[in-house]
Structure 1
């Protein structure tokens, strides 16, 4: 009997697979004795891989090295190597999985005691065939009543986890508020627990006797559907982009010809994909009442909630020359439902960073022009105002680039945390839209004041000869007029929206832009036959369109009825 068998029973603590600290384990190790001499004819018992367990008992230890990893494991326990490199232990007889090193004295007795207590609380008719128990000692240095054993049970038939006692997910599962939310039905609860099941499979993929081909086929179908959905619907709520789906599908096809020796690798990454997909389904209420099936769903309501009358916001938008309004709509679309889709945020932030860089370059150029104007004798007041605006634009651009660097906003979690922090309680994303366009507005004001100073200087120099001023104005206006006419001649539709350019898909299914109801509406119709679809746009404002798609005569009837 082990010495630890007489220790008091440790406290059972319910936990979740997501709380596994495998990625937070310290790299510092306790001091160990090392050697430099290799014994003659040193042979190893067996070469074990991620799929093959390593069984070390007193009967098959070869040599007397005395190393810790050659200490025999307790009966019925085997050691598995995860594809990522960490070890875990499995008891085939009892169906126990643990991350705690079973070679430590007393660990086996504590885990066996906890397993017996859990088993005694399970009803005989409630024990499924594919039942597995996860046990982990929180602090292996404190065994007994002072210690705690984390646990949960895994049901492979229902792809879920459960516990043997009632618990409150907000208090008994500390820190799980973002993982398992208060549920309104059993289906809602299962939707929240299924990602945890797949997280467990990802962390412990080597010991299952059979491979779940049904789950892999279902994953293939889900990825194909998500790929098509992302290609044809800008509002797709699938967590992966088209390119990512295609890459995953290629990997799945390449794994089909492999034998069972690679099953652990295959099971680990497919489980990771399933966990991500199931988390997305939980967020979007997949299969529940009132699900979110489109990224832009409810956008008009979200816009109206943020557009309260505010003198400060209106003044800020006016000083920024109205530019924040477009950025505000874009930000609201991206943050609708407070869900971050990185594939949509990344292009938007890349465009913003490009604007801020060009604004900084423009500010430097304008500073040089102000220096030239100073030498030429432009009034000091104009130069002072222009230089102040220019320096402010340069400074704000640098600050925005620093705050929105790729390193700081690298993941969806970083983006979500940042937007949640800067979002205004009363005005939503309107202050952020003003901040985003402030560098361009400052540069525009700098250019206006600089141009005003130059115009004042020129007019003051030409007061004695008005005909020369008229000549200069004419020589400036004619090239601008000719350039405008040339642009219209080369692109006759430049004044009208291109209904297909906004949507690269052959058959754009969903594309919506929402505007505040206070804007004046004017209707511009443009028609284009595209893959047997009649696509027409109703332009509510010069820079935004509401796209509707239809086909055949029904679309024409719909259009006539609308007009």
Structure 2
């Protein structure tokens, strides 16, 4: 373990080359003078989870404050450090005094935090010399000093190759990375992390050729969506066109806003390349193409019986849900289109069931036989079940066509994670339509009984069976809708 108490301003990889022998022979460092250096990734940055309370007060401000002629007192930021403000408002600091720029969101105006940060930086430089690693000309070091522990987390990025790297071998599992099929496939995870770093720290302009490449990617993706229903690109044609219009490809210089914008889009593009094995033999070329071998999902006998009673409508619905979640990848665009269509179907079924209720109530006013009354009650009960189930689903999934990708993925993973796959939720989704169809059949029976005498006991048996069917349908619906992920749709 390496440590130092010297000021960082005098530390460079070259200055350590003559000190390594002395450092290696030194005694173990105590907890008060040493830090532990740990690797991290750019996507593990806690910027959105960091909590800092605001304290407001009334101040006496000096004359000319914030005017062009006002000269603020310096000294709260250490020498060689420069403060930047992210377009979202977060503050970070950059030190370019050495050959490799250092970036941190550790508050360097805090002496204790700065001391720990400088010790961590010195350990990084010492590790570079010890490993005989050459200083990459266009690289950056990100380092973060843990506030409550003698630890510093770090990673490095190479702007020329658009990648993230470390000073030692690292296990993907320890860095919470997803598995890969090859080193080439791993490149896109590291590239995603690189662009996440650029998004979080956008002080460097993005070269023109990179911006032109981004525009070409978006144009191709828009064309792909316009000419195919199975494009794998995460944004639809309209979104791609709008993104391309936002990217400035004319000015050689770019602001932090433009850099942040470009980086955020590239994060999604590089993730898309990883998800679909871009450049691999097993590359996924359409969204309905599975590149994994999954165990076959076989519905239970109860679910097959349920599907048969619901006119096999759940089978078609299950296929649609499976296409939305091929290889556990979901697309916001297709999910929203699916939910819009499904909700429209529920609304139409509600109107149909309302009409059936009115029709049955009217016909029962002309009832002369008990048989007619029984079949009419059965039809009314079914239409009432369709009406209530449709209203319930519209309430539960009221905002399902507007949820983001994260909530959508959690939901699909939750409802599809059982032995029958999406069959239970598919049965619930088709329940209003199936009950409406059953109601129409019994309405037809109503009309027949106006002309034919049907034994009363047969109608009573049918009414009893229908009552059991409706109750069982609602029990199944309650069981499916009680999942925690369903609450996210309300």
Q: By the TM > 0.5 criterion, same fold?
A: yes
C-alpha distance in structure 1 between counterparts of 2:410 and 2:364, whole Å = 46
Kindly indicate whether residue 302 of structure 2 is the aligned counterpart of residue 295 of structure 1. no
1:133 shift after superposition: 0.8
* Structure-2 separation of matches of 1:40 and 1:193: 50
Cα distance change, pair 115–75 in 1 and its aligned pair in 2 (3 A): same
Select the residue among 291, 296, 307 that pairs with 1:305. Answer: 296
Contact (CA 8 Å) 1:96, 1:135: kept in 2 or not? Answer: yes
Per-residue deviation, residues 209-238 of structure 1 (Å, max 9, x unmatched): x53222212112211221221222222111
Hey, what does 2:460 align to over in structure 1?
none
1:453 Cα deviation after fit = 1.8
Q: 1:191 to 1:36 in 2, by over 3 A?
A: closer
Report the counterpart of residue 526 of structure 1 in structure 2: none
CA distance in 2, matches of 1:16, 1:330: 36
CA, structure 1 residues 358+235, in 2 after alignment: closer, same or farther (shift >3 Å)?
A: same
After superposition, the C-alpha distances for 1:418-442 in whole angstroms (9 at most, x for unaligned) are 1111115433223332222111001
- Aligned residue among 233, 239, 255 for 1:244: 239
Q: Structure 1 299/369 Cα, relative in aligned 2: closer, same or farther at 3 Å?
A: farther
Please, which of 108, 113, 119 is the counterpart of residue 119 of structure 2?
113
Tell me if 1:61 matches 2:72: yes
Q: For residue 354 of structure 1, what is the aligned residue in structure 2?
A: 344
CA distance, structure 2, for counterparts of residue 280 and residue 305 of structure 1: 26
CA distance in 1, matches of 2:415, 2:231: 26
Which residue number corresponds to residue 267 of structure 2? 275
**1:292-314 Cα distance to aligned partner (Å, 9 max, x none):** 11112249987x933x4743233
Please tell me whether residue 182 in structure 1 is matched to residue 179 in structure 2. Answer: yes
Q: Which of 223, 232, 251 in structure 2 is aligned with 1:228?
A: 223
Q: Hey, what's the Cα distance between the residues in 1 that align with 2:105 and 2:167?
A: 21
Over the residues paired in the alignment, what is the CA RMSD in angstroms? 2.9
- Of 37, 48, 65, 1:42 maps to 65
Q: CA deviation at 1:2?
A: 8.7
SS in 2 for 1:386: helix
> Structure 1: how far apart are the matches of 2:267 and 2:438?
51
Query: Match of 1:549?
Result: none
- Equivalent residue for 2:433, pick from 440, 450, 462: 440
Q: How much does 1:10 deviate?
A: 2.5
Structure 2 residue aligned with 1:456: 449
Counterparts of 1:75 and 1:166, CA distance in 2: 33
Return closer, same or farther for 1:130/1:371 CA change in 2, 3 Å cut-off. Answer: same
Q: Which residue of 2 aligns with 1:480?
A: none
Deviations 1:69-88 (A, max 9, x none): x6521110000111122111
Gaps of 5+ in 1: 48-59, 63-69, 462-563
In the alignment, does 2:35 pair up with 1:10? yes
SS in 1 for 2:140: strand
TM-score, scaled relative to structure 1: 0.69
Change (3 A) 1:19 1:344: same
- Contact 2:339/2:400 (CA < 8 Å) preserved in 1? no
Give, in whole Å, the separation in 1 of the partners of 2:58 and 2:351: 61
Written as runs of structure 1 = structure 2, the 5 A alignment for 1:401-480 is 401-406=394-399, 410-459=403-452
* Structure 2 portions without partners, runs of 5+: 9-29, 455-490
**CA–CA separation in structure 2 for the residues paired with 1:362 and 1:439:** 10
User: In structure 2, which of residues 356, 360, 373 is the aligned counterpart of residue 366 of structure 1?
Assistant: 356
Provide the C-alpha distance between the structure 2 equivalents of 1:10 and 1:259, rounded to a whole number of angstroms.
41
Q: Pick 1 or 2: higher relative contact order, CA cutoff 8 A, min separation 6.
A: 2
